[in-house]
Structures are given as structure tokens and as C-alpha cells.
Structure 1
Amino acid sequence: MTELIVAQGTLWLLLVTVAMTMLLLLWRIREFYRHVAPLGALTPAQPSVSHLERHTFIASDGSCCTIGGIRPDGQRQLLLFISGTCPVSKKMIPVTRSFCDRENISLIFVTDDTAEGEQKLVRTLDIDSGHLINNTETGRMLAVDRVPFAVLLKQSGDVEARGLVNNREHLESLLTVTETGYESIQSFLAAHPHALAS
């Protein structure tokens, strides 16, 4: 009988210890998330232009595709720079399409692939070929050195926000940049180091 009581007491002691350890872990994880900044769209380099003039390009289907400049429809425009050899780019195509549909943003895909790679993109990833242009100069002007890279343009053609994106949260951070008035999430956190503490 004594052995049973000791065994049961030991089990209860272990149970309480495990419960206390779990509570401590939860508290530490909460503190960790309060101190770690959410990663927004990363802006690795500054572009040579802050305004994109109106340019008309020949899209993959042979039609005319216009980017930049004042948009008569009043929509913002998102340029998503992608590559057919980049798996993250392939993942971001449907995510970005859904995001732009929800936010009422005009979406243009930009690539610098070969003609064969461009056609493969259209076929395998179900991209509207009327919204895909093959151009390197625009990427150079906007300091795009890695993909997938998103550039959000205002209705006037001014660069509103830009950065590397690999999930929906990164795309949404471009809109957050617009709301805060800072050019990137990183610059906002640098100016407000205690923003996450609240």
C-alpha cells in the first residue's frame, strides 16, 4: 500500500513539473515573438528611379502591355519579376494573382528568360501571356537583382513599395509600407525600435 502511495505521489509530482515546464516554455516563446521582428519584403538595394515613366512593351501573346506612367483606370500596378528556373517564383505566381485580385491591383509579370523559357512559363504556370513581358532594362532601373521581386506602383507611376517576396505576408507588407509612409518595413522598425514591444 505504501509503495502505491509513493508511486502515485511521484507521478503527480512529475505531472506538476511537466505542466510548469510547459507554462514556462509558452511564456518564453511569447517573449521571443515579441522581440523578433516580422520579416517584411526585403529591399536589398535602392533603385535608380523612384518614378516609372509610361512604357509600352510587346507581351508574350504579341499584344501591347503598358507599365508605369499615369494609369487612366486609377489602379495601382504590381510588377512581379520572376524566372522560370526559380521554384519560389513558381510558388509566388498564384499567390500574387490572388493577392492582386483581392486588393484590386493590376498585375504584370516581368521576366528576362529566353524566348523558350518564356513560353514554358506561360504553358506550365498558367500565366496570362498578355500580362507577361520579357525585359531586362526595367529590372535594372528598379534595382532588381534577385527574384521573385515585387514593385508596387502608384496610379501616377511612382514607386510606392518594393522588395523580395516569398510569401503572401511579404506582399501584404508592401501595403503596410504604404500605410506607414516608410519605404520598407525595415526602415519603419529602425525608426521605431520599440514598435513591437507594444
Structure 2
Amino acid sequence: MTALIVTQGTLWLVLAAVAAIVLLLLRRLRGLYRRVAPLGALVPTVPSVMRLPRTGFVTIAGTDLTAGGERDDGRRQLLLFVSGSCPVSKKMVPVTVNFCERENLDLIFMGDETVEEQRAAAQALRIDGSRFVSDTETGRLFGVDRVPFAVLLGRDGDVEARGLVNSREHLESLLTATETGYASIQSFLAAHPHALPS
């Protein structure tokens, strides 16, 4: 009888110890999550402009395309700067197409290589040539120095958010920046340090 009581007491002590360890681990994980907060699109440089006026482009397929300015259809535009030699661009093209369809964004692919190189890139990246523009000036205006780089334009052509993107979460952070009024998730967390659970 005494052995049974001792065994039960020991089991209860072990159970209490396990519960305490689980609570401690949960607290540590929350702290870790706070330090490794979700990252938004990386904004590496300061752009020359924060608005794109209504601008006409000729795509690599030879069709006319308009970007920026007041939008007649009321849709926002996402400009995605890519390169055919960039493996991350290849990964991001289908992700961005799906993302823009879901969020009702008008997607335009952009690059700054020669038209021949862009045609090869469009084939490699499986991009519709009528949505692909070869233009060096626009990338410079928005401070694009690496790809894939996304610029979210509002219905009036204003730059709502921009940055390097290599995941769907980065694309979603561009919309989050628009909804919160902050340039990035990092700036939002800096302004609201208690936004994440402690």
C-alpha cells in the first residue's frame, strides 16, 4: 500500500514538472517569435519618385500597355521587375500571377535588358509577352537595384509599397503596408512593440 502511494506521488510530481517545462517552453517560443518577427519586402534604396504618371509602354510582343496615373478600371497595379537569369525570379513569376489574380491587381512584368534578352527571359520565365515591358528608366526611378523587385501602384499612380520579394509573404506585406499606412512590417512593429504576443 505504501509503495502504491509513493508511486502515485512520484507520478504526480513528474506530471507537475512536465507541465512546468511545457509552460516555460511556450514562453520561450513566444519570445523567439517576437525576435524573429515576420519580415516584409526589403526596401533597399530610396526611389527618385513616389508616383508614376500615366505612362505608355510598348511590350516585347509589340502591343501598347499603360502603367501609372489615374486608373479607369479602379484597379491597382503591381510592377514586378524580373530577369531571365535570376532563379528567384523564375520561382516568383507563378506565385505573383496567382497572388495578383486573387487580390485583383493588374500585373506588369518589367526588365531592363535588351528586347532580345527579354524575349528569351519571357520564354524562360513563361511570361506572356503582352504583359512584359523592357524599360531601363522606370527601374531607376523606383530605385530597383536587384530582382525580383515589386512596386505596388495605387489607383492614382502613387507608390503604395515596394521592395525586394522572394516569397508570397513578401507580396502580402506590400498590401499590409497599404492597409496599415506603414512602409513595411518592420516599421509597424517598431511603432507598435506590443503588437506581437510577449
- Please give the secondary structure, in 1, of the residue aligned with 2:29: helix
Task: Give the match for residue 67 of structure 2.
Answer: 67
- 2:30/2:197 contact within 8 Å kept: no
User: In the alignment, residue 120 of structure 2 is paired with which amino acid?
Assistant: K
- Please give the secondary structure, in 2, of the residue aligned with 1:28: helix
User: In the alignment, residue 183 of structure 1 is paired with which amino acid?
Assistant: A
Task: Give the match for residue 48 of structure 2.
Answer: 48
* Number of aligned positions between the proteins: 188
- 2:84/2:124 contact within 8 Å kept: no
In the alignment, structure 2 segments of 5+ residues that lack a partner are 1-10
Matches within 5 A, 1:71-150: 71-150=71-150
- Please give the secondary structure, in 2, of the residue aligned with 1:166: coil
In structure 2, relative to structure 1, the CA distance for the partners of 1:33 and 1:128 (3 Å cut) is same
Identical amino acids, percent of aligned pairs = 62
Give the whole-Å Cα distance in 2 for the aligned partners of 1:122 and 1:35.
39
Normalised TM-score (structure 1): 0.85
Give the whole-Å Cα distance in 1 for the aligned partners of 2:121 and 2:45.
27
- Please give the secondary structure, in 2, of the residue aligned with 1:124: helix
Task: Give the match for residue 173 of structure 1.
Answer: 173
Normalised TM-score (structure 2): 0.85
Give the whole-Å Cα distance in 2 for the aligned partners of 1:32 and 1:185.
17
- 1:35/1:197 contact within 8 Å kept: no
Provide, for residues 68-93 of structure 1, a one-character-per-residue CA deviation record: whole Å limited to 9, x for no partner: 11111110000001111111111000
- Please give the secondary structure, in 2, of the residue aligned with 1:45: coil
Task: Give the match for residue 5 of structure 2.
Answer: none
User: In the alignment, residue 160 of structure 2 is paired with which amino acid?
Assistant: E
User: In the alignment, residue 65 of structure 1 is paired with which amino acid?
Assistant: L
Give the whole-Å Cα distance in 2 for the aligned partners of 1:194 and 1:35.
12
- 1:118/1:134 contact within 8 Å kept: yes
- 1:82/1:148 contact within 8 Å kept: yes
Give the whole-Å Cα distance in 2 for the aligned partners of 1:61 and 1:33.
46
- 1:35/1:196 contact within 8 Å kept: no
- Which stretch shows the higher mean deviation, 186-195 or 24-33? 24-33
